[in-house]
């Protein structure tokens, strides 16, 4: 069995995380598995509409926007999913009668027909990227208390048998696939993962396949958790982000250098 770029069955595509600092929200982050990227923003606790007000806890609202067209059934279903799997990880009782609003934007076309083969869909990978981006945006905002960190990965079973993590076009059409989400907590060096959600679909086989897929996903989600931890360290211990330009003449020279540095930084982010 061979995968694109020599990937192992348990290996994810390169993860890129960045904290965008969007202007009018409280926290934002971008997450991608290789080319499958999602951007998410969090605002909250903010004022809530009287109709959605809850007297004992904050209302969590998730909005998912696809790359093109208005949000339709698929986006609304994904939004309901993300809301369901993030709710157990948030402590919403600290801020009753407020709203925590998460807006997630998929940065690739999602659903089937997104590549050469109309039967291959990247919906699971997009779901996983949206969940991870939302978790990162919540961590970036720092205003909603959390019980743990939710990480998600997509798993599929290839037609030739083996289970693979983060399936891409090179794995071909899959006869079983889905996304698993785990909530991570840590006690010293001991990291605990609890499965909080899955949409695993399989045509044939028994529960053993589901258990094996979940186990495989748990290991891969641990890699996502480790990447998130490393990037949050970078978010917390920051270095100067802007370069002050002393004079207009030097400014042109330094701007060109800064653009090159930015290009290199984006490539090196891992």
The residues binding other proteins (CB under 8 A) are 21, 26-27, 43-48, 89, 91, 94-99, 139-143, 145-149, 183-188, 228-229, 232-233, 235-242, 244-247
Cβ nearer to other proteins, comparing 40 with 110: 40
Cβ nearer to other proteins, comparing 148 with 178: 148
- Which of 136, 167, 115, 180 lies closest to 39 in space, CA to CA? 136
> Taking the complex as a whole, how short is the minimal distance between the CB of residue 206 and other proteins, in angstroms?
33
Distance of CA 150 to the CA centre of its chain: 9
Cβ nearer to other proteins, comparing 17 with 123: 17
- Which of 64, 154, 153 lies closest to 106 in space, CA to CA? 64
> Taking the complex as a whole, how short is the minimal distance between the CB of residue 220 and other proteins, in angstroms?
18
- 154 and 128 in contact (C-beta within 8 Å)? yes
> Taking the complex as a whole, how short is the minimal distance between the CB of residue 188 and other proteins, in angstroms?
7
> Taking the complex as a whole, how short is the minimal distance between the CB of residue 152 and other proteins, in angstroms?
16
Cβ nearer to other proteins, comparing 114 with 231: 231
Q: Which two tokens stand for residue 50?
A: 């009287």
> Taking the complex as a whole, how short is the minimal distance between the CB of residue 93 and other proteins, in angstroms?
8
Cβ nearer to other proteins, comparing 37 with 99: 99
Cβ nearer to other proteins, comparing 77 with 91: 91
Query: Per the omega criterion (within 30 degrees of 0), is the bond before 179 cis?
Result: no
> Taking the complex as a whole, how short is the minimal distance between the CB of residue 132 and other proteins, in angstroms?
13
State how far the Cα of 149 lies from the Cα of 135, in Å rounded to an integer: 7
Which residues, 6+ apart, have CB-to-CB distance to 158 below 8 Å?
1, 164, 167, 171, 172, 174, 175
């Amino acid at each position: 069995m061979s995968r694109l770029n020599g990937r192992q069955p348990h290996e994810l595509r390169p993860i890129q995380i960045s904290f965008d600092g969007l202007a009018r929200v409280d926290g934002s982050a971008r997450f991608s598995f290789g080319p499958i990227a999602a951007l998410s923003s969090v605002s909250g606790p903010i004022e809530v509409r009287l109709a959605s007000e809850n007297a004992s806890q904050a209302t969590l609202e998730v909005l998912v926007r696809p790359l093109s067209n208005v949000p339709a059934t698929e986006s609304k279903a994904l939004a309901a999913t993300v809301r369901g799997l993030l709710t157990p990880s948030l402590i919403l009782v600290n801020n009753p009668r407020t709203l925590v609003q998460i807006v997630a934007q998929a940065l690739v076309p999602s659903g089937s027909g997104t590549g050469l083969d109309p039967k291959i869909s990247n919906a699971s990978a997009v779901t996983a990227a949206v969940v991870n981006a939302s978790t990162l945006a919540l961590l970036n905002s720092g205003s909603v208390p959390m019980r743990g960190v939710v990480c998600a990965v997509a798993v599929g079973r290839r037609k030739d048998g083996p289970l693979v993590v983060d399936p891409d076009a090179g794995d071909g059409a899959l006869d079983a696939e889905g996304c698993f989400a785990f909530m991570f907590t840590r006690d010293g060096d001991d990291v605990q993962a609890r499965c909080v959600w899955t949409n695993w679909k399989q045509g044939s086989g028994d529960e053993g396949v589901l258990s094996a897929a979940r186990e495989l996903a748990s290991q891969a989600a641990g890699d996502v958790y480790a990447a998130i931890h490393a990037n949050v360290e970078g978010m917390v211990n920051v270095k100067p982000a802007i370069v002050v330009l002393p004079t207009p003449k030097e400014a042109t020279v330094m701007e060109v250098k800064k653009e090159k540095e930015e290009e290199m930084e984006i490539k090196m982010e891992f």
